[in-house]
Amino acid sequence: MTQTSELKAVVFDWAGTVVDFGSRAPMGVFVETFARFGVELTVAEARGPMGLAKRDHVAALLREPAIAERWKLARGSAPAQSDVDAVSTCSFRSMPKSSAIMRSSSQA
């Protein structure tokens, strides 16, 4: 007996699922946003929690010991929940250059 499949197509979310293409663009925004708070962030660090919701991504970054230490040096205290809120709000919504950063990062 031969079975036939009703499967007609397979759809992949290519961006970050099958191919790591374009994921550099949002990383540039995270790097730039943290810089606005006086904290250096590498693209590799920013990419670490990729796939999380933006607020969870920021919280995960601020829990990283090296980033938390740089935050404390730059801001005078360890990162708090209010800092997660501030960085999350700043990162995409209120950052006028985010589109330009994403465009330039995706070209790199």
Q: Among this protein's residues, is 13 annotated catalytic? A: yes
Cα–Cα distance measured from residue 32 to residue 34, given in angstroms and rounded to the nearest whole number: 6
What six digits make up the tokens of 91? 């990162």
pLDDT at 57: 93
pTM over 0.85: no
| pLDDT tens figures, 32-56 | 899 999 999 998 999 888 888 889 9
| 20 annotated active-site | no
In the chain, which residues have pLDDT < 50?
94, 98, 101-102, 105-106
Whole-number pLDDT of residue 41: 94
Q: Where do the domains of the chain lie?
A: 23-107
23-107: which CATH topology? Answer: DNA polymerase; domain 1 (1.10.150)
pLDDT recorded at residue 94: 47
**Residues 13, 20, 72, 97: which is the catalytic one?**
13
User: With contact defined as beta carbons under 8 Å apart, do 108 and 27 qualify?
Assistant: no
Q: What is the pLDDT of residue 48?
A: 86
